[in-house]
Structure 1
Amino acid sequence: MSSVTRFAPSPNGLLHVGHALSAIIAHDTARRNGGRFLLRIEDIDLERRRPEFVTAIFEDLNWLGLNWEEPVLVQSEHFSDYLAAADRLIAMGLLYPCFATRKEIAEAADPAKMDPDGVPLYSGIWRGASAEAVGQRMAAGENPALRLNMDGALQALKTKRGSKPLTFIEVDDDGGQKTVTADPQLWGDAVIVRKEVPASYHLSVVVDDARQGVTHVTRGQDLLAATDLQRLLQELLDLPEPVYSHHRVIRWSNGRKLSKSNQDMGLRALRDEGATADDIRRVIFD
């Protein structure tokens, strides 16, 4: 089947070899079957995005020998689309405003309960808050995050699907497929619209994958758990379901994951040291 794949980096740092692995797998998957390879700039983090990092993404991918369709989708140009999707969830009664700070969330959380990102699981501080309480905070000039009422979302899912479980198709390195049962409840009442920007990673990615007709999502194993929540949003919003492939995460010998913030194994630095694109392929695939 002809596939549509994408590489969707955030321009808040330089690409490293872990990003190269995702980009090359997505690119080569599309090229093998006459499909389409797309590039998407996921820059909804307005405080951390930098134009020089966007330029560096293009340069590094070109150096790797990758090419993609134009125009490149830039998420910050599509906030109205994410808000429209959020409005659908609001109309279903599935989003509610939350003014809690990280400190308040941590203090109210059960220390034994963490979400898949390793942060304290939200305990529902603002779930069921009165209109008066919300109005007072809004009148004071505060912007809330919008959280998903997970219990309500799962009930809505049950109404749509009956007893049919929420699943996704996972493709392994050899092309074998298996059906995985999603467990979005692990995320609790997740943030769907952030306080500072009218979107979140989980909302924007499902809207854009649908908009761009992405059929195959290739990304690191560290994002496997995100698929559970994203599959729930796809079902609630009547969006198509891609197949997924979560490749290994490249780590240092001590087990630490590569990080943009530390510029670990940065493509720019490796190129400056004389590495070639073929060298990068050998490093990540051998």
Structure 2
Amino acid sequence: MKTAWVFPGQGSQTTGMGVDLAELPVAAEKFQQAESILGWSVLENCRTGDNLSQTLYTQPCLYTIECILVDLLRERGERPDAVAGHSLGEYVALYAAGAIDFETGLKLVKRRAELMNEAEEGSMVALMKFDREQLDAAIAETDGVVLANDNSPLQVVVSGTSEAIETVLSKVKVRRSVRLDVSGAFHSPLMEKAARAFDTVLEPVGFSDATVPLLSNVEPTPETQADALKSRLQQQMTGPVRWREISLRLSGEGIERVVEVGPGKVLTGLIGRTCTDLTLENVGTLEQLNDRG
């Protein structure tokens, strides 16, 4: 069965995630590597949950736990036919596809989290059940707001100045809207300053060709070439997460099964509402790993 691995991003974190993996040799090694790079313990932060709501800690913790799960799936002889990740999750997808190693990815994630944590301009609001044509039109005629996360036919996130977002909301009939607890307008042009600062860290990093196709957030088509994958990642901080299109493309590429590798079931939920013909699985705990045989 042709299988894709997908990796969730910020918002999927839960207190206790990864703690059940701690005694496994591959996990213990990764936790130690992470602590030497970050200067703090991923395992301890996941155990207590004290800082998990802060971008500075959330992103490195998710990256580390998801990379450990990738290693454990590999130990069991599993391999994907394609990979994709939602926002932060794209860094894990790059690791899973062999485009970057764990330490390189974590150093990038660490700097990304620092810059995003420092962002102070704008906000993000999730919208559920809305008229898409009405929303697209409202965004098109309003400066300072973009569609940041196109997650599914019935769930998106808009990002921009608070004033612009309120203008859009006044023009669109929405069943429910939720302001996200983030420091700034992620995946929008308001992140341009942070993106420029991040590029000084990303630019000298060497990428390898991917061993399996990766569908990127800003360009949801299969890609394995190192230069193209790096270029797409450079655009990610200010560009949109086109997850709905990724979901549709996976199905179009002949993928039959999608495994969400990480805590929670956010991505399988979104994919299931977009594509009804895929087998959806989740691997985020030791029990779920062991249930795979």
Normalising by structure 1, we get a TM-score of 0.30
Normalising by structure 2, we get a TM-score of 0.29
The structure with the largest helix share of the pair is: 2
